[in-house]
Amino acid sequence: ELHYALYGDRPVSTTTLKAELSQLRNLIPDVIESRPYRLNCEIQCDFLMAEQALNLGFTSTTLTLYRGSFLAKSESPFLCAWRDCFDARLSHVIYQIEDIDQLLRVVSRVPDR
């Protein structure tokens, strides 16, 4: 499942996935368990907090947390789909902003919108 979520139908060996996970485990020891691969702690990520704020309709909080497109260089089918969906939803919210000062703050902070 993880292999497909990250690489889709691209011809990437499971050895590559294992090597990448090994590198990640070295960066953040004692966080990623194996067999099966899983995180053994709670994580907080600004992009997940931004998504939660967006889901709850907290526009100002969402815009404060947003730091640009999530992993913009990733080609993972799962991550691309998530990123594209979130960015589309965020664009819709930005286009609905009527407060010009808030809109100018958004535009100055988020150059890729």
Span 56-94, pLDDT tens digits: 999 889 988 988 888 888 888 888 899 999 999 999 999
The domain in which residue 66 lies consists of 46-109
Cα 80 to its chain centre, rounded Å, is: 9
Number of domains in the chain: 2
29 and 51 in one domain?
no
Dist. CA 5–CA 13, nearest whole Å: 14
52 and 87 in one domain?
yes
What pLDDT is stored for residue 110 in this prediction? 67
Question: Inter-axis angle of helices 77-95 and 46-56, to 10 degrees?
Answer: 50
68 and 18 in one domain?
no
Among residues of the chain, what percentage have pLDDT more than 70?
96
104 and 87 in one domain?
yes
What pLDDT is stored for residue 111 in this prediction? 57
pTM above 0.75, yes or no: no
pLDDT band at 112 (very low <50, low <70, confident <90, very high): low
59 and 35 in one domain?
no
Contact 65, 55 (CB under 8 A): no
53 and 96 in one domain?
yes
pLDDT band at 4 (very low <50, low <70, confident <90, very high): confident
